[in-house]
Amino acid sequence: MSTNQTYIPALSIDALTRYYDPALATIFQEQRFRMPLVNRNAQTGDRVLDIGCGTATLMLLVGEHTAAKCVVGLDIDPAMLATAAQKTAQRNDLLLLTRGSAACLPYADGSFDHVVSSLMLHHLETMQKQGMLAEAWRVLKPGGSILVMDFGPVGSGMVTEGTAAVFGRFERIDDNLRGRVPEFLRVAGFVDVFMEDVALAGVVKMYSGRKG
């Protein structure tokens, strides 16, 4: 997927992008919401990649609370990256931004110790999700880890169908709600794959894996 192809903006509509940071800060208490990703990120490892970094909130948290020496953020949305650049301007020794596609990462094999991603996977179509995870495996060093925070299965029958119907108008969330993400990770090559509840009464999951 090139950067010229279509993508779903952070709040589904371009005009709402300016409200992304205020919405997550006030409604979702974003820093507390995303801290599980930071806390689970190993305290060792020089290089961390944030796929779908958005406005760089997670990058800033990783840079502040872990021992990472370089945190690289990638996003396809130029409006989000513009805000990210403003927020990271004073930390360009540690935080680096790239515009690019999650399904075709512009980095060499084995470039990173850890990969993280927060609330981005559900924006991708099935093949793009699989492509992103395969690319994450490629750019990780042997033994490197992946942590993905995103929506997951919330029940069966009417619960899943109803949630899919609501969110499906704006997002590509069906794979998440049907519990397919762990299998996507295994197919990409990850081992020790695990899914756990982390937020919003189990609606948001943490997916983890390791490159063997």
CATH code of the domain in which 29 resides: 3.40.50.150
* Proportion of the chain above pLDDT 70, given as a percent: 74
- Residue of 212, 165, 207, 169 lying closest to 190 (CA atoms): 212
Query: Is 10 part of any domain?
Result: no
Q: Please give the model's pTM, rounded to 2 decimal places.
A: 0.82
Residue 72 belongs to some domain of the structure: yes
Asked whether residue 180 carries a pLDDT value surpassing 80, the answer given is yes
Structural domain contains residue 7: no
8 occurs within a structural domain: no
* Mean predicted confidence (pLDDT) in 166-195: 86
- For residues 172, 181, 131 and 129, what is the CA-based torsion angle, rounded to 10 degrees? 10
Q: Is residue 65 part of a domain?
A: yes
Instruction: Note whether residue 3 is domain-resident.
Output: no
Question: What is the span of the domain harbouring residue 165?
Answer: 16-211
Cβ atoms within 10 Å, residue 109: 9
Asked whether residue 5 is assigned to any structural domain, the reply reads no
Domain count of the fold of the chain:
1
Q: Taking the CA atoms of 58, 181, 114 and 5 in sequence, report the sign of the dihedral they define.
A: negative
Question: Per the domain annotation, does 171 fall within a domain?
Answer: yes
